[in-house]
Amino acid sequence: MDRRRNTLYFVILSSLAAGLITGRDFFFTVAYLCGGLLVFSLLWAWSTINWASVTRQLPSRRSQVGATIEETFVVANISWIPKLWLEIHDRSDLPGHHASRVISGVGPRREERWSVRTLCTRRGEFMLGPMRMVTSDPFGLFQLERPFPEQTPVVVYPPVVKLLQFPAATGDISGGDAQRRRTHYITTNAAGVRDYASGDSFNRIHWRSTARKGRLIVKEFELDPLSDVWIVLDADRTAHPRDRSSDQGTVTAHNEPAIPEERATTEEYAVTIAASLAQHFIEQNRAVGFSTHTDHHHLIQPDRGIRQLTKILETLAMLQAASTITFDQLLALEANTLQQGTTVITITPSTRETWVQAVESQARHGIHTISVLLDAESFGGRPGASLIAGKLRAAGAPVYRVRKGDRISVALSQPVVV
């Protein structure tokens, strides 16, 4: 392209020089034509790049590993001059996302649309955009580009496995009494009545009180006498081995979400297990809390419903095993917030015996623990999972052992028997 322009510049200068030397109009005419061609080409490229727009339409900014993100791109010609060709370069960092395209023949006041579907293979937050538009004139003399710096964040949740026979968390609070805590859910435990507030469901109206007082009165409810379920995930960077196998393929199968072999780490397994357990208990209408420590303390107080699951999944989507807090320190940190009768599900590859002592201490305070132990040795880490499993069983804590390549749903349905 530069070579073509330089050729025209040479022709213009040579023609002008020849015209001045010879005085012939022919050489001046050639110089004027070449100069006019340059101006025409520049104006054409400028109008093409400035009188066009590109937008992306994204139905949802949330997805999940194994699902697809679908985008619709719209390139609009807002002038009466046809666009011969446009290059759209997309610089999104979503893995496997390829949206760049060459568009040709966009007529005056017309649009060109195309859709891109991207399979999500990695959890985390990614940016869609920015984009860059490139075009040229019909003679290929000028190539202009225009940036579109807008970016759209997308959060990809970790995969979730449907659990087969994971045991129900110990439920009844000591004495079987309802928790004295108000809830916006309708339960079997009516706690009293109050005035109607905007947003209250009509099926909560207490008609006898409404008729007696002459205004809308609604029932209040308390939580069922079921203990909270806490999921505590170990994000200690020294506990998670960083093994990368050269084999290709996936480590899970049989209709379970696949974890790529190059990302088959204890970290990814732990995140998938935590997400699966959260969904499992929330589907059972249990109050689920979540705790971990990465570069700071992540604490989600127990609650029920899809909004709670979304909070946990968003936290897990960003989670990186980068903590300097050991797992026994994390358990000790949470000890003061756990009530008697609470069920704690621990997820860790740690082979340190100190966290087993923390579990024993919790048991003495009436806290029930279920441990999901990732076999670090199968991931290229330290041995010792069998010893830890034995000590946990001796402390009365059910243990589920997960090795690299195991089906998570199967591994979490078969407790370790020592």
Give per-residue pLDDT as tens, 314-328.
999 999 998 889 999
Q: Please give the single-letter amino acid code of residue 176.
A: G
| Model pLDDT for residues 31-44, shown as the tens digit of each residue | 999 999 999 999 99
Rounded to 5 degrees, what are φ and ψ at 130? -75, 175
State the pLDDT confidence band at 416, using cuts at 50, 70 and 90: confident
Distance CA 233, CA 333 (A): 13
**Which residue carries 């204890």 as its tokens?**
266
Q: Residues 90, 109: contact at Cβ < 8 Å? A: no
- In the 8-state DSSP scheme, what is residue 258? P
Alpha helix positions (H), 191-290: 207-213, 266-283
State the pLDDT confidence band at 169, using cuts at 50, 70 and 90: low
Q: What average pLDDT score do residues 78-85 get?
A: 89
Rounded to 5 degrees, what are φ and ψ at 103? -110, 130
- In the 8-state DSSP scheme, what is residue 153? E
Bond before 257 cis per omega within 30 degrees: no
- In the 8-state DSSP scheme, what is residue 369? E
Sequence-ordered list of residues with C-beta below 8 angstroms from that of 269, at least 6 positions apart, any chain: 259, 374, 402, 404, 408
Sequence-ordered list of residues with C-beta below 8 angstroms from that of 273, at least 6 positions apart, any chain: 161, 347, 372, 402, 408, 412
Structure tokens of 380?
């290229």
Distance CA 316, CA 157 (A): 7
Sequence-ordered list of residues with C-beta below 8 angstroms from that of 57, at least 6 positions apart, any chain: 71, 72, 73, 74
Judge whether residue 192 has pLDDT over 80.
Answer: no
Q: Residues 296, 339: contact at Cβ < 8 Å? A: no
Sequence-ordered list of residues with C-beta below 8 angstroms from that of 87, at least 6 positions apart, any chain: 100, 101, 102, 103, 133, 134, 135
| Model pLDDT for residues 246-281, shown as the tens digit of each residue | 333 334 444 566 565 656 899 999 999 999 999 999
The predicted structure's pLDDT at residue 366: 86
Q: Is 267 exposed, middle or buried (0-12, 13-18, 19+ CB in 10 A)?
A: buried
Judge whether residue 188 has pLDDT over 60.
Answer: no
